[in-house]
Amino acid sequence: MSTTNDTPPDWGLSDFNAMEAVLWRAEADPLLHSTVIAVEELDVAPEWTRFVSTHEWGSRMVPRFRQRVDVGRLGYPAWVTDARFELRHHVFRSDLDGGTWQDVMDRVAAIAQAPFDRDRAPWEATLITGLQDGRAAYVLKMHHAILDGRSGMQLFGKMHSRKREPTRDKPQPLPLPVARTSALVTAFRRDTATLTRGIMRLPGMGHKALRPDRTVLESARYVRSLRRVLGPVAAPPSPALANRSGDWRFFALDLPLPGLRAAARAADATLNDAYLAAVLGGFHRYHEATGTPIESLPIALPIAIPKPGDASTASRFAGARLAGPLTIADPAERMHAVGAVVGALRKEVALDAIDSVAPVLARLPGPLLSRLVAQVAAGSDVQVSNIPGIPDEDVFIAGAKALRFYAFGPLPGCAAMIVLVSHWETCCVTVNHDEAAIAEPETLRRCLAEAFDEVLALGGTDARAEVRR
């Protein structure tokens, strides 16, 4: 465990926000379950007692991990302390006798799809032992309502130590403050205030309404932006990715972080541009290889929304959708094209429209909410995310060193979810795909690896992508 900053993170003390409530309640549709998975490759198998003690301490450091969800009589979820919390319901171990990394991926996919017991805190930790070369895997399964990608990395920063030996004098968490009002009342008050702030940001509301000439122009601008943000994506869905089974399959690739950075610099682009260009290149190759060529692919990705008055600091993220170009052969030109589209999306005044109305969505009847979420999700075939990893230093859990860190996102009705997490000098790229949507998974693995190699070649190095087996 880390001996610095040993205080509960803000998200570990907060109530359900509106978007978290939407994610929780939308799971009335089985295709929309929002399970996220973190997988670490460990150099050795931790000692079991120490591994359990790590999670006992961690569950006290982050109160969220000792809380369950109470939907109340009104159906709106709230976090409440689980008076019957027992670690044995959340920490498990499994063994793979001589298992490969793909065996781990297959086991983790099965773990991810098993539903949570909704009467308990929605998380599970599993230690998988028996891997080749004496290695092990640490699997942390959580509901997306607990945290997002960035708060997940904050959690892992706390759950890890900077040394292999036990920390004997680590600080203990302080007693939690006693709530003065019920969680349901607190959530209602906060989300009502959030909805009010969202309405006041709309053109024609607040102090700007005193200038009718400005209000008319801004209202028209907002409506046009809203159509672009929430309207149909310019790219039609891919016929080759149309089928859905609800069954998840996982695989992973590794590529050198310095090589991807060098490729981005050579093209005068960002690392995220290089990443997106490689993903699009992979799906272009996949469609060509399967005899179903298309010109563009509807994709979704999170975009940072800057804090007011501080363009350099991102306070939250909004989901954005775009038509990813597949027919630009030159990878550098593809980077520039993607960068231009993402840059334009960042300037959309209605980018956070969903965030503003989420308090209303969260209170819709369950079947209606699921139908609306499914309709929005159906507009994208692929979702892509890029999450900064733990700062560059060796980290350990229960005495085992983390060699690689992989994050798997859910499939909210789309064909594939692709996530990049940087760990030391490695970009750990994961693919979660619907078994029915990707008819030729081995072809997709090959095509993505070739597309990353194509981008990496721009950096002038011999860096190459490796499909983990």
Q: 113-131 pLDDT, tens per residue? A: 999 999 999 999 999 999 9
pLDDT for 60: 85
**Residue from 55, 144, 160, 284 carrying the catalytic annotation:** 144
423 is catalytic: no
Report the alpha-carbon distance of residue 91 to residue 51 in Å, rounded.
9
Q: Percent of the chain scored above 70 by pLDDT? A: 81
Neighbours of 215 (CB within 10 A): 16
Average pLDDT over residues 238-242: 97
How far, in Å, CA of 308 to CA of 444, rounded?
41
Q: How far apart are CA 409 and CA 433, in angstroms?
A: 10
Locate 170 and state its tokens: 């680590």
* Pair 56, 87: CB distance under 8 Å: yes
Q: The CATH number of the domain where 132 resides is what?
A: 3.30.559.10
- Amino acid residing at 6: D
Q: Where are the beta strands (DSSP E) in 147-260?
A: 248-256
**Residue 241: is its pLDDT beyond 90?**
yes
Asked if residue 335 is part of any domain, the answer here is: no
- Which pLDDT does position 179 carry in this prediction? 45
Q: Say if residue 207's pLDDT is above 70.
A: no
- Please compute the mean of the pLDDT values over residues 258-278 and round it to a whole number: 97
Angle (deg, nearest 10), helices 441-456 and 257-266: 60
Distance CA 27, CA 60 (A): 28
pLDDT value, residue 204: 47
- The reply to whether 102 falls in a domain is yes
Amino acid at 181: T
**Contacting residues for 324 by C-beta, under 8 A, at least 6 apart:** 235, 276, 279, 280, 283, 296, 297, 298, 299, 338, 382
Determine, yes or no, domain membership for 66. Answer: yes
Task: Kindly write down the DSSP assignment for every residue of 360-393, as one continuous string.
Answer: HHTTS-HHHHHHHHHHHHTT-SEEEEEE--S-SS
Task: Determine the pLDDT at residue 213.
Answer: 46
- Per-residue pLDDT at 351: 77
β-strands 78-81, 296-307 pairing: unpaired
Sign, CA torsion 420/406/64/24:
positive
CA 85, CA 21: separation in Å to the nearest integer? 22
Q: Please tell me what DSSP assigns to residue 8.
A: -
Q: Is residue 264 part of a domain?
A: no
User: What range defines the domain where residue 100 resides?
Assistant: 10-183
Q: For residues 108 and 418, give the distance between their C-alpha atoms in angstroms, rounded to a whole number.
A: 16
Q: 218 or 33: whose pLDDT is higher?
A: 33
In a domain, 440, yes or no: no
Percent of the chain with pLDDT over 90: 55
In a domain, 203, yes or no: no
Task: Average the pLDDT over 309-328 and give the result.
Answer: 71
- Is 70 part of a structural domain of the chain? yes
Least confident of 94-103, 113-122, 317-326, 431-440: 317-326
429 band by pLDDT with thresholds 50, 70 and 90: very high
In whole angstroms, give the CA distance from residue 137 to residue 122. 20
In what side-by-side order are the strands of the sheet with 123-131? Answer: 91-99, 123-131, 136-143, 35-42, 400-408, 396-397
Q: Is residue 288 part of a domain?
A: no
Q: Are 278 and 359 in contact (CB under 8 A)?
A: no
Q: Model pTM?
A: 0.88
pLDDT at 390: 78
pLDDT digit string, tens, across residues 17-51:
888 888 899 988 888 889 999 999 999 999 999 99
Is residue 318 within 8 A of residue 351, CB to CB? The reply is yes
Beta bridge partners of 400: 397
Q: Within a 10 A sphere around the Cβ of 186, how many other Cβ atoms?
A: 17
Number of domains in the chain: 1
The confidence score (pLDDT) of residue 247 equals: 95
Cβ atoms < 10 Å from Cβ of 440: 13
Task: With cut-offs at 50, 70 and 90, classify the pLDDT of residue 307.
Answer: low
Band of the pLDDT at 184, cuts 50, 70, 90? low
